[in-house]
A and B are shown apart, each in its own frame.
Chain A
């Protein structure tokens, strides 16, 4: 009786999964770091390219949802502890949760290309953060940021999507 759950958990988390997820999380963390040290400031908060998400998208398409979730969560938690602080980490986790859910669902429909899925993820990520910000600040005026975040999410998502599609093509 006690053995069956242990067996199943051993089957679901294999050594190769851990190694793969660790490797990709490390790669994504480096991207986060590079993005954090690039001195560009668009002047409006919340606008970011999010190059690290290339790794998440590639993981989703190459290895599946579980890898993508693992890479994303590890990366966000570590980047939060290293660069962004705890508060930033909460926002990023909310954004990551919303955008991962959206990506997995959109990919399942089979209608969208990598670029389209990534574009949706970029928008959803920003919307998730906006919702958390609105809930924390308890002020709906923050929705003035909605259009800005929408368009920046579309642009960043498309760029990340094209980069991911190129990476996926050479990995094939």
Chain B
């Protein structure tokens, strides 16, 4: 009788869960964790198509591929409004500007190395490398952010419904 009951309970449980289920569950969870870990560590390589977007005074100033190293001097909107030489995308000396930020793209990450402002928040900000991250300089109204690049970036949402 006692054995019968135990057997019944055992069979009852077997409808819902078995040893193979648990093994499969663990395998799936481990795979998922492994892939997410791999993606986290390989973000540099995976983000090669990403773009660095520089906005100044609320307008798009320039975009550059994250994969190419370069140094950009961005004059603040105030600077550009007052005569000042035209915005340059080159490495020219920037002593000519009073209000500016220096954005450096190097080895797949972006940082602001120099700024004319007092608080230097953007300079102290650690380098950014992932899509969605940004560095902001309020005094010069500068936003540097990384986007996943090509127009599909925002399109995923609409396709994988």
Binding site for B on A (CB under 8 A): 45-46, 84, 87-88, 91, 109, 111-116, 119-120, 123, 129-130, 133, 136-137, 139, 141-147, 150-151, 154, 162, 165, 168-169
Contacts and interface: CB of A to CB of B under 8 A. Distances in A.
Given A113-B16, A116-B21, A142 B156 contact: yes
Given A139-B152, A169-B15, A147 B35 contact: yes
Nearest to A152: B32
B161 A84 contact: yes
Nearest to A85: B161
Contacts of B148: 141
A123 B28 CA distance: 8
Band of interface residues on B: 20 to 34
A115 B16 contact: yes
Contact of B24 (A88, A91, A116, A129): A116
A91 B160 contact: yes
A113 B35 contact: no
A129 B46 CA distance: 21
Nearest to B149: A141
Contact of B18 (A116, A129, A146, A147): A116
Given A144-B46, A150-B35, A154-B28, A129 B160 contact: yes
Interface of B: 14-18, 20-21, 24-25, 28-29, 31-33, 35-36, 39, 46, 49, 148, 150, 152, 155-161
Given A84-B161, A133-B159, A165-B15, A147 B20 contact: no
B17 A154 contact: no
Contacts, number: 92
A112 B161 CA distance: 29
A59 B157 CA distance: 32
A84 B28 CA distance: 29
Contacts of A123: 28
A116 B35 CA distance: 22
A112 B24 contact: yes
B39 to A, nearest CB: 6
Nearest to A153: B28
A69 B112 CA distance: 58
B17 A113 contact: yes
Contacts of B16: 113-115, 162, 165
B22 to A, nearest CB: 8
Contacts of A141: 46, 49, 148
9 contacts: A87-B159, A88-B161, A109-B20, A112-B18, A113-B15, A137-B152, A142-B160, A145-B160, A147-B35
